[in-house]
Structure 1
Amino acid sequence: MVCINCKLFSQLNKSVDEQKQKIEDMSGLMEEMGKEEFISVFTEELFDALSKMIEEKKLSMENAILLLKRIGYLKTLKRIHYFGFEKISLSERIEKMIINEEEKKEEKNEKLLVGLCECYLLFYSRVPSSEFLSICVPCLLKAALKKEESEKAQKEVEMALLALSNIYMWTNVPKELYLSEIKEVIQYHQEHHNLTHLAYQSVWAFFTDRMFFEKSLEEVGVNELHLVREAVRELEELTKNVIWMREKKDERGKETNEELLLIRWFMTMKIYLRHCQLQNEEFVGLFNSIVQMFRAAKDNFRKISNECMYIFLVAKGNLSIEIEDLLNGGVVDVALEEMQQPTLGYKMMCYNLEIINSISWQLKGKKKDEKEEAKRKATKRKVLEKMEEKGYEDDIFCFNEILDILNEVNFYDEALSLDISDYFVNV
């Protein structure tokens, strides 16, 4: 790895323009790295060395930001959550520069401030203070509101939104800092399609993460911005560019852009399905789209198929989601079908059993309201018909002997029921 470090950084002692070219050259090398290799290269020691180069004026701050943004961009896409960046002098330097630039009354360098805020959020792995949130969030949203259609402008907007999406779910960002601007970014894209796929996913990631603290966002997401409808459209567009018949990875496990984006959308939808309690007629379309993706991916893209099934697992835990939607969306079909696979993995088996167990449990409870009770019985009848059609009874009795073993190997938080009757709705 020392050789790679040298190759990446030893040639930065150049003029400003030459440094920019070297950084561009280095970007290609960084992009080709697998996740583990990336982590092993970008260490605290390397960032300390980078900070020293800035201090000794061997690397301009402009080029340092350019380099850090590229590292942070790839770190985020590779789903690397911790770099120990807060411990090093470079982090302290960036924080001081953000505050100093924000406090300027005149001749504030907006471009510099945007770059500094992007670096701060792309690398920061803790909950930012309210002071930095009040500076970074409005600054980056202002950058994201650019209406220019050039490729350069699109990339700048993408970087700003990607940095914002790095603010963790458990960070309480006051909605007056972002809500009107977020709605404008999303609604403008819905009309003009000015954002890249990554930028659009990032703005939704930021929005859904805020639902953890702000319940009023549910109504905005369902009735004004139509998150589920938009997610379906994006997922379907992305999957058009995936060749499902083979793994599109090199020997180091590098994921394709489509794979990276699909997984980011899955993360966004899992958060949304966990927290949204409003009825949404668009759920059927979402489930149907993910079922189709699961079937296409299960033979060669196991990571994608596991993510698909995990979304269904999250959905079944949200009692505001109608079982009828899971049924009409094909979730029950695919769970029953997969249980019959001769080489089904432990994790997938547990996912399927947990989905069926939860649906069965919900269908057993009688409703006081006559209309709701009639609806429950009708849904129960449909599920029973599916079970009979797929030969479910024989399958579940076969699994009965290994339920205890499955609990031992399953990493999911909920333990599977060991009572075989819990997996039926006709008890």
Structure 2
Amino acid sequence: MIKDFRAIDKSIDKFKKKSSNEHFSEFLRELGRCDENAQRQKILEMNEIIDEMEEEEFKSVFTKKWFNKMDEMIKEGEVKIENAFYLLEHLGYCIVLNDMWALGFGYSSLNKRFEKMIINENEKKEDKDEKLLADLCKSYGCISTFFSKELISIIVPCLLKDALNKEEKEESKKDVEIVLLALCHIGKCVILDNELFLKEIKDIILYHQEHNNMTHLAYQYAWEFLINRLFCNRYLEDAIMNELHFAREAAREVEELMKSVDWKRKKEEKGRETKEELAITRWINLLYRNFCCRLLMNEEYSGIIRSIARLFRASRDNYSKFGCSCIVIFEAMAKFRGVKIEDLLKGGANDAVLEEIQRPTLNDKMVYNCLEFFMNVSQRLKEKKKDEMEEAKRKAFKKEIFEKMEEEGYEEIIAMFKETKYITP
């Protein structure tokens, strides 16, 4: 094993001395001269290098010409289809994980080959190779940017069936992660009918809630796939909030993921983003889109406010990206009338923003976001309530916010708010 990794390190060093196109063209030629086992080792080296690529480098390598060459080698039997899947699944995984696109694939002969194989394999009445079909759908689902209705009607059910694999082995978990990542990618490109996915994705989420059979990233992809459907189909609200408990699960996941991050690690000690950090980032982005678009709200959302406040305090020293995102989410929450002002206060949003605004290294953008939060809150508190009890609450919260800011020494901010009629004592 140590020898294998030394070989990979040497390949990476060699790669740095050549252009990306030259190196991957050479890799393809070498694949055609290898036996099956040597091919798998060579592809492992290629996958390691793909992991290190930046976006521009990635685009320069994976062009139409590259995919055409891969197709030719599959056709001539120089690369076994199973080994091609091993490379293409990893390639697709990196594409979706890093929000990149392999635009050359859609115009390549490999794209046409996979489309034909998917349709032909699906139409078989007897001797259908379910594994081959699943592998085709995973690779195609991750890499492609265009999906016909016919392909969608085959690929989505096939991937959902594969994701319903309830084994808890590590290898199975990784496979389910790739499947759900492919579904998430497809969901960005097309609108889907509920009949095609809803029952299965609910079963996948509910089973995980009971048995914890998926990785954190796989679970996040399942939710992202479903929430993305909500933008075009508001009929999903009840299932998402009350059957599957999105708010409760998002808060729980963020709390769990936080335990796996070394928050004291300095910037210079960090490598590439860990899977836990990546999952937190994706949850934050999903939550931000929810509040910005005013999609969902119920009583369980107060837990999210507390979790985001804890994430802010854990991350603000050495993970400023997360800290900034937390403040931006609070700003969006304060605008969203579905969020109660008392929940923002009780959850610690107000305290978190006050703590952020007094930091000496605060930049202009963060000052703006912090002030926007208070302006949004105070604008909401200006609106008088017809119900006497609600009106009394409004006045009490208004006074509490004012006194808190005065206590922290923000006379200038209070004066500015008074002047602009956002808050009055």
Distance 1:387 1:150, change over 3 A: same
Kindly report the root-mean-square deviation, in angstroms, between the aligned alpha carbons of the 2 structures.
2.6
Paired residue secondary structure (1:113): helix
Shift of 1:174: 0.9
Give the aligned residue type for 2:315.
A
The equivalent residue for 2:424 is 426
> Which of 321, 324, 327 in structure 2 is aligned with 1:309?
327
Q: Which residue of 2 aligns with 1:339?
A: 357
Matched, 1:355 2:355: no
In structure 1, what is the Cα distance between the partners aligned to 2:377 and 2:115?
50
Tell me the residue number matched to 1:409: none
Displacement of 1:47 after TM fit? 2.5
Please list, as runs of the form range in 1=range in 2, the aligned pairs for 1:171-182 lying within 5 A after superposition: 171-182=190-201
From 221, 240, 244, give the equivalent of 2:263: 244
Could you tell me which of 102, 114, 127 is aligned with 2:122? 102
How do 1:16-415 and structure 2 match up within 5 A?
16-81=36-101, 83-126=103-146, 128-169=147-188, 171-247=190-266, 254-275=272-293, 277-395=295-413
Letter in 1 for 2:246: L
- Kept in 2, the 8 Å contact 1:169–1:212? The answer is no
The question of whether the paired residues in 1 share the 8 Å contact of 2:67 and 2:104 is answered with no
CA deviation vs aligned residue, 1:305-343 (integer Å, no higher than 9, x gap): 222223223323322111211111111112222222222
Q: Which runs of 5+ in 2 are unaligned?
A: 1-18
Contact in 1 for aligned 2:59/2:102 (Cα 8 Å): no
Cα 1:106/1:333, change in 2 over 3 Å:
same
CA distance in 2: counterparts of 1:7 and 1:358, whole angstroms: 58
**In 2, are the aligned partners of 1:182 and 1:203 still within 8 Å (CA)?**
yes
Q: Is the 8 A contact 2:241 2:247 kept in 1?
A: yes
Q: Measured at CA, do residues 27 and 281 of structure 1 come closer, stay the same or move farther in structure 2, by a change above 3 Å?
A: same
Contact 1:117 1:136 in 2 (8 A): yes
Structure 1 residues not aligned, in runs of 5+ = 401-418
Say if 1:211 and 1:275, in contact at 8 Å, map to a contact too. no
Residues 277, 318 of structure 1: 8 Å contact kept: no
SS at match of 1:166: helix
The 1:396/1:96 distance shift into structure 2, 3 A limit, reads farther
Superposed displacement of residue 276, structure 1: 5.7
Q: Deviations over 1:370-389 (max 9, x none)?
A: 34333322322222222222
Counterparts of 1:307 and 1:158, CA distance in 2: 25
CA contact (8 A) 2:335 2:377 kept: no
Cα distance in 2, alignment partners of residues 255 and 11 from structure 1: 31
Shift of 1:263: 0.9
**Could you say if the C-alpha distance between residues 247 and 54 of structure 1 is closer, same or farther in structure 2, counting changes exceeding 3 Å?**
farther
Structure 1 contact 53–59 (Cα < 8 Å) conserved: yes
The equivalent of 1:413 in structure 2 is none
**Aligned residues of 1:312 and 1:331 also touching (Cα < 8 A):** yes
**In the aligned structure 2, how far is the partner of 1:396 from the partner of 1:92?**
64
Check the 8 A contact 2:184/2:225 in 1, yes or no: yes
Alpha-carbon contact 2:95-2:102 (below 8 Å) kept: no
Percent identity, aligned pairs only?
46
Contact 1:340 1:395 in 2 (8 A): no
> For the residues of structure 2 that align with 1:132 and 1:345, how far apart are their CA atoms?
48
Shift of 1:94: 1.8
What code does the residue aligned with 1:221 have? I
2:356 alignment partner AA: E
CA contact (8 A) 1:209 1:271 kept: no
Deviation at 1:272, TM superposition (A): 3.3
> Counterpart of 2:230 in structure 1: which amino acid?
M
Cα distance in 2 for residues equivalent to 1:153 and 1:245: 33
1-side partners of 2:327 and 2:421: how far apart? 18
- The worse-fitting range, judged by mean Cα deviation, of 26-35 and 325-334 is 26-35
Paired residues of 1:138 and 1:177 also in contact (CA < 8 A): yes
TM superposition shift of 1:70: 0.5
Structure 2 vs 1, CA of residues 82 and 28 (structure 1 numbering), >3 Å: closer, same or farther? Answer: closer
Q: Secondary structure at the match of 1:244?
A: coil
